[in-house]
Chain A
Amino acid sequence: MTRFVLHRIGFYVLVAVLLAFFAVPLLWLASAPFTSDPTYQVRMPDFTADNFRALFDNPYALGSLWNSVLLAAGTAVLVVAFATLAAYALSRVRLPGRDALLYTLLLLSSIITGTAAMVPLFQLAVELQLIDSQLGLILILTGGLLPAAIFMMKDFMDSTPKSYEESARVFGATPLQIVRHVVVPLVRPGLATIGVWAVANVWGNFLMPYLLLSDVEKQPGAVIMYTLYTEGGQANLQLLATFGLLYSVPVVLMYLFVSKKYGFRFHGGIKR
């Protein structure tokens, strides 16, 4: 009996420690945006909306969020479109060297990380005059995400029965009609998953835009956030608090959306 009680006490102590460890760093983000005159210290918020004014006063804050949206949406669209086409062909047609190609893709996506490739990517961007080009950044990010996306998409395709396509084919549908009428609607959950995954990746990505976008007006939220707390002088905590919150909310919403709608499918590469 005492053993049981000790067990229970031990469990709750452990849970309390874990909760403290994970919650304490987050408290500031929850309280400071609504506290007047925020400091580094966490205080009970008095629910002021003043801090949000700092956000609107800053010339780059809202613009950077829009840049984040552009980069994330642009990359997601390209990744979903190209990965779907490629994954479909790879799933259904025995292209010569297909297995080797898939293996290489998987290998590449795991070894060529931003860290390993930042030097050549920077140089490539300089040579191709893609520095300060959002489109250039989108293409670079797309190239980096595509291998893993193709892999996940192919998983979806492989688990879709072929009889749907064969059936449409017997009725005389052309390959492109089959893709449009049958395949795309069937793998829609897969498209959504890849899309959300790509958006989440780009939204949080700091290194690539930091390297390749030097124009403040083009930089996304991640870079502006970093600039806000590292640039010289006293950091503007009002701005940091509200901006950090606003920049974080979409990620949380997306996570809730995905886990509600599809359940959290456990994919090794869902986040890097």
Chain B
Amino acid sequence: MAQATLPPEVLDDAKARRYNADAAGLGRLRAGAFVAPALVLISLFLVFPALWVLYLSLSNYRLTGAAAAAPQSVGFDNFVKALTDPEFWSSTWLTFEFVLGSAVIGQVVLGFLIAWIMRDRTGPIKRIVEGLVILAWILPSAVVSFLWVALLDRDGGTLNTLLHAQDFAPLLDHPMLSIIVFNIWRGAAFSMMLYGAALGNVPPSHLESARLAGASGWQQLRDVVFPHIRGHVLTNLLLISLWTFNDFTPFLLTAGGPDGKTEVLSVHVYQVALQGGELGYGAAVSTVILLINLVVAVFYLRLLRSKK
């Protein structure tokens, strides 16, 4: 009988299976063919535009006129122009206000609040509240934007009727506040559901032992709940910041006005590049947006990896 001459190398059967994952015997060639159509579309309509935007940002491309026919490279002029343009900086500041106010503070706080007060509840109250919050989230943006235009209308808007006010025009007088409140209303559902799921994962025994030790509601929140959902909070913050930063819906409410008071970067790009025709300059601003997205996304992916 054969004798073991070498020290046995332990091999797990599960590990062995991992090596040969090609269960259907697809082979690399066919697998490549399976991936190809998706990759072609992604390269053409996602990767290529991202690279093209870099090229455009270095040119004086315009929609019409001489520069449209024969665009020339202008180096970093577009970036210099943007970085010295007060409109760009005001737009960046507005974007910051919008993201901080509606996402980082508004949606996170409101979403958590709803998830927290509904955590142990079942029945109609929970279903109605959650249903309405989710409804605000899933309705098409064009529809909800109009609903808010109607709500905030100066003459016959429902808000004025409720407040018994006359001539109160939030969209004109407080446009930034209006779109911030709108976006809190619109997006709270995501945070609510994420925190709802996270709170469901807090082991009840931990809460019970804290309660037995006499911890108050606030202490339970701080000492038991928060350590468990810290990862979710970070995930949530990064995702909704990214989405809000790239949100084009403010355009549907105010189109950047009045007087550019709500012209966040996404709307700014549209106004400059597609209304104003300055594609090169618009591309420079787009590049800035891409870079900011990249930073947030890399943070997010790091976070996902460290969780695994």
Contact = CB atoms under 8 A, between A and B. Distances in A.
**In the complex, is A directly touching B at CB under 8 Å?**
yes
Interface of A: 11, 14-15, 18-19, 21-29, 39-42, 78, 81-83, 85-86, 88-90, 92-95, 103, 105-124, 139-140, 142-144, 146-147, 150, 162-163, 165-166, 168-169, 175, 178-179, 183, 200, 203-204, 206-207, 211, 221-223, 225-226, 229-230, 240, 244, 247-248, 251-252, 255, 264, 266, 268, 271-272
Given A85-B37, A115-B289, A266-B197, A121 B27 contact: no
26 contacts: A26-B132, A26-B136, A39-B156, A40-B150, A81-B37, A92-B26, A93-B26, A93-B27, A95-B31, A95-B35, A110-B242, A112-B49, A112-B290, A116-B53, A116-B289, A116-B293, A119-B269, A119-B279, A119-B282, A142-B45, A165-B23, A178-B24, A179-B24, A200-B138, A206-B142, A252-B139
A13 to B, nearest CB: 11
A206 B252 contact: yes
Contacts of A118: 269-270, 273-274, 286
Contacts of A18: 114, 129, 133
A244 B185 contact: no
The 9 closest A-B pairs by CB, nearest first: A143-B45, A162-B23, A89-B34, A89-B31, A111-B293, A120-B49, A93-B31, A225-B142, A165-B23
Give chain A's interface secondary structure class.
helix
Interface string B285-308: 010011001100110110000000
Nearest to A121: B49
B117 to A, nearest CB: 6
Contacts, number: 282
B229 interface: no
Given A19-B129, A107-B301, A116 B27 contact: no
Given A109-B46, A163-B23, A271-B190, 19 more contacts: A14-B117, A24-B151, A25-B136, A27-B158, A40-B153, A40-B156, A107-B294, A110-B242, A113-B289, A120-B56, A122-B274, A146-B41, A147-B42, A166-B23, A226-B142, A247-B140, A247-B143, A248-B139, A264-B193
